Amino acid sequence: MRAYTTNTYSVSFETPAFLAGANQQKAEWRTPPFKDLIREWWRIVKAPEVDYNVNGLRESENRLFGHAATSQGEVSGQSQVRLRLEQWRAGTETDVPGPPLREQKINIGGFLSPAALYLGYGPIQKNESRPAISNSNDSNKLTVSVSNESSKEEVWRAIQLAAWFGSVGSRSRNSWGSLSISCVSGQEIKSASEMSSNTLGNCLRDWEDCLKLDWPHAIGKDTKGPLIWKTVPNGNWAQVIKDIAKLRYDVRQLFPLDLGSPNLQERHILAYPIKEPVVRVWGKTSRFPNQLRLKIIREGARFHGIITHIPCALPKEMAHKVEVSEPAVDLKAMQLRVWTKVHQYLDEQSSNLTRVV
């Protein structure tokens, strides 16, 4: 029988979590999203050890988290990581977006628009409510057990990263479902104030080197330190939603669009698809998400927005289509130019943002 090392955590949310099961009309506490989140951050912990080799990383991940056989003669592997929630149950929030979210608006193209709608389009619609797991009166206990002695520290480190940067559910990259994790028994969770170059260690990589790979494998850094910014503290989490929505919008506006051009433009480097214009060779079905991850964390009675850049190159297939159709475009140079401008802009917002160092 395997011997497991077990940690228990209290988990809750700092923003409503759109975390649904098979019934998309009902928010539910379920284990699979938490396991996916741990795997996501484990890859960033493990990637330097395998020299950022995706095949080596996949093999290590299959051994640790288990896998199904994909070909005749292959043997499936049982997961060495087990998760258990104290309760699988429905969420308690039924009126998202409600007060105080409806009151937080930002100027988009000369019109006041709800910040919650800007960051949560899809789950959040105008004048409609959406069930969610509440960020004010709902919590659960998550037990994580690891049988592989040599891998347990990697898993605990991944959970630490998830506590600092992790969100789950729909629109989680835009700060919805911002997860709060505290230790009940086992490995302690460091507070957000302890986030630094030293505590992040080899999870950081020079952001220009990150552009050599087309999958997220590290948190970026430059000569100033990690590419992580914190908003000024605020006692109102909904106000922080407004603050980071405004920053996200302003970053987009750094790159004006030629609406009549079907070619690749700098705005498209941030994320794709956008409403218009569509890149001719990518169409409306190609996609890659914004590399800036947004999260809201609580320190004491106050909240911060966290903006984190996890850089990587454009997906190879999309990059190849541009290289064939627009040979004059230097994709690497364009990506360097765009993200350098974004970093400079965020650094300049000294009244609203501070860099983690």
Kindly report, residue by residue over 328-339, the tens digit of the pLDDT: 999 999 999 999
Q: What are phi and psi of 16, to 5 degrees?
A: -55, 140
Query: What sign has the CA pseudo-torsion 196, 198, 202, 204?
Result: positive
CB 60 within 8 A of CB 45: no
Hey, what's the torsion of the CAs at 273, 277, 283, 285, to 10 degrees?
Answer: 20
> DSSP state, 284?
T
Please state, in angstroms and rounded to a whole number, the distance separating the CA atoms of residues 115 and 106: 6
Instruction: Report domain extents, the chain.
Output: 198-357
pLDDT of residue 234: 96
Q: Give the model's pLDDT for residue 68.
A: 76
The 10 Å Cβ neighbour count of residue 355 is: 16
pTM > 0.85: yes or no:
yes
How much is the pLDDT for 156?
97
Quote the tokens at residue 230: 């914190």
- Give the type of residue at 50: V
What the block records as the tokens of 174 is: 């835009």
* pLDDT beneath 70, residues of the chain: 1-2, 69-76, 127
pLDDT of the residue at 327 = 95
Q: Where are the alpha helices (DSSP H) in 201-299?
A: 207-210, 237-253, 266-270
**Alpha-carbon torsion angle 13, 16, 20, 24, nearest 10:** 180
The tokens for 169 are: 């559910």
